[in-house]
Amino acid sequence: MSTYPIVRDQLAQLIAFDTTSRLSNLALIDWVEAQLEPLGAVCRRIPNAEGTKANLWVRIGPDTPGGIVLSGHTDVVPVDGQDWHTDPFTLTEHDGLLYGRGTSDMKGFVALCLAFAPEFAKLNLSKPIHFAFSYDEEVGCQGAPEMIAQIIAHGARPDAVWVGEPSLWQAVSGHKGITVTEVDVHGREAHSSLPDLGISANGVAIDLMMVLRQIEKDLITCGPKDSPFEPPYPTLTIGEMRGGTAHNILARHCHFGFDLRCPPGFDPDAILAPFYEAAEQADAEMKARFPECGVEVNRISNVPPLAPDPDNAAEILVRALTGDNAMRAVAYATEAGQFHQAGLSAVICGPGSIDQAHKPNEFIDPAQLQQGVTIFKKLVDRLSAGS
């Protein structure tokens, strides 16, 4: 029997689990474990603090160092407010394409891992194959670090980490890091005709956002001209802001969030130092007038970049399987940077296009899954030969 229908069926099952990051992924993890444990795979959950979500670290083969990690995240972004033409949690074929939330980002790669697990389990492996399925990648890669730490602490340091983010099966050597920050400004309400009786949280927030805007403009001059990243400099964007209740009331609260994306070699803390200084000063000035007021700055995530290294074991493996030898770097962040920060060889390569990620009517071309079958069969052949 062709492996493609198995992959398609696995993908349909995965899409049916609504694993939007705000929800639990445990039902999906239960289902994956039920498939893998009868094969002799060793499954270990690494839960979040609340026990509502979990990473799943799977080992097929001997409990030894080395081997390969196939890495994918189980969560997806929301569909709220998007104009979907199909049920986003039902895999639907239309005009030769497969639609559903997560088809490209990135349950297609997870489906390939699961479809080939029986083949991996039949091999007489001298080194293990690991699956590393994480939670909360879409909200700042929050799940993977604890799983990575446990893999290393267990003495299972792999030779190569293959992160299957959508890349149209092109090898991606590097990506920018991302620092996500949220800011809450707490003011004091008063009538807008008597502003001295309160503090507008919106006004303070605007001052702080102006500092960020200046940093954003200054960054355009940074970055070497021969950088593989596009754009070559760090980028800063304010993606979220809300505050106030009426035009004639000084705003009691204002919230805004921003992200900073840095190529390797840039220090996010150094770049954001003027903002931190301005926030600290604003906090002190507000508290001096009204002790209940102030500025809270919370770093939500700080995902490290993946530095290009074409000679690493992960790239050598993926390039041998795909035949792709071009050098690429991308602006988005992935868990590959976290594996790299832990001293592990990592590369990005997977089915589907990043252009489909996070959009309504997300789809994957079945040809991408069929190409994945060919690539995974080559991996099985290499492992069978002891390579």
**Given 105, 119, 136, 137, which residue is catalytic?**
137
Q: Is 75 a catalytic residue?
A: yes
Q: Considering only the C-alpha atoms of the chain, give the largest distance between any 2 of them, rounded to a whole number of Å.
A: 80
- By the 8 A CB rule, do 89 and 15 touch? yes
What token pair was written down for 221?
A: 């001059």
Give the residue from 307, 343, 329 showing the smallest Cα distance to 161: 343
d(CA 233, CA 222): 5
Which secondary-structure segment (H or E) carries 132?
strand 129-134
The span from the first CA to the last CA of the chain, in angstroms, equals 26
**Given 75, 105, 283, 335, which residue is catalytic?**
75
d(CA 103, CA 113): 14
- DSSP state string for 180-202: EEEEEEE-B--BTT-GGGSB-HH
How much is the CA Rg of the chain, to the nearest whole Å? Answer: 23
Residue 177 forms beta bridges with which residues?
Answer: 262
- By the 8 A CB rule, do 154 and 93 touch? no
d(CA 262, CA 271): 10
Q: Is 254 left (phi over 0), alpha (psi -120 to 50) or beta?
A: beta
d(CA 323, CA 334): 23
Q: Is 33 a catalytic residue?
A: no
Catalytic center residues:
75, 137
